[in-house]
Amino acid sequence: MNKFLTLATMAAVGVGSSVTAENFDLQSVFGLTVPSIGPSPVNWSNKVRMMTGGEIDIKVHGSGDFVPPFEVFGAVSTGAIPMGFDWIGYWAGQIPVANLVGSMPFGPTPDIALAWMFEGGGLEIIQKAYDPHNVKIIPCHLVVPEAGGWFNKDINTVEDLKGLNMRIAGLGGQALAKLGANTQLVPAGEIYVSLETGRIDAAEFSAPQLDKNFGFQEIAKNYYFPGWHQPSSWDSIIINMDVWKGLSEQHQGTMIEACKANIVDNLGDQLNQQMLAIEEIEAAGATVKRFPDEVLVAMKAAATEVMEEEAAKDPIFQEAYASLTAYVERVSRWSELQSMPN
Third-level CATH fold of 10-95+102-142+233-273: D-Maltodextrin-Binding Protein; domain 2 (3.40.190)
Question: What local confidence, expressed as pLDDT, does residue 92 receive?
Answer: 93
Residues 70-126 pLDDT 10s: 999 999 999 999 999 999 999 999 999 999 999 899 999 999 999 999 999 999 999
- Rounded CA-CA distance 58/129 in Å is 25
**CB burial class (10 A; 0-12, 13-18, 19+) of residue 224?**
buried
Give Cβ neighbours of residue 147 (< 8 Å, ≥ 6 apart).
204, 206, 207, 208, 211, 223, 224, 225, 227
Whether the model pTM is above 0.85: yes
Question: What local confidence, expressed as pLDDT, does residue 11 receive?
Answer: 37
Residues 291-333 pLDDT 10s: 999 999 999 999 999 999 999 999 999 999 999 999 999 999 9
CB 203, CB 169: distance < 8 Å: no
Type of residue found at 293: D
- Please tell me whether residue 10 adopts helix, strand or coil conformation: strand
Q: Name the CATH superfamily housing domain 149-230+285-331.
A: Periplasmic binding protein-like II (3.40.190.10)
Does this chain's domain 10-95+102-142+233-273 share its CATH topology with 149-230+285-331?
yes
- Please tell me whether residue 56 adopts helix, strand or coil conformation: strand
Question: What local confidence, expressed as pLDDT, does residue 104 receive?
Answer: 96
- Domain segments of the chain as ranges: 10-95+102-142+233-273, 149-230+285-331
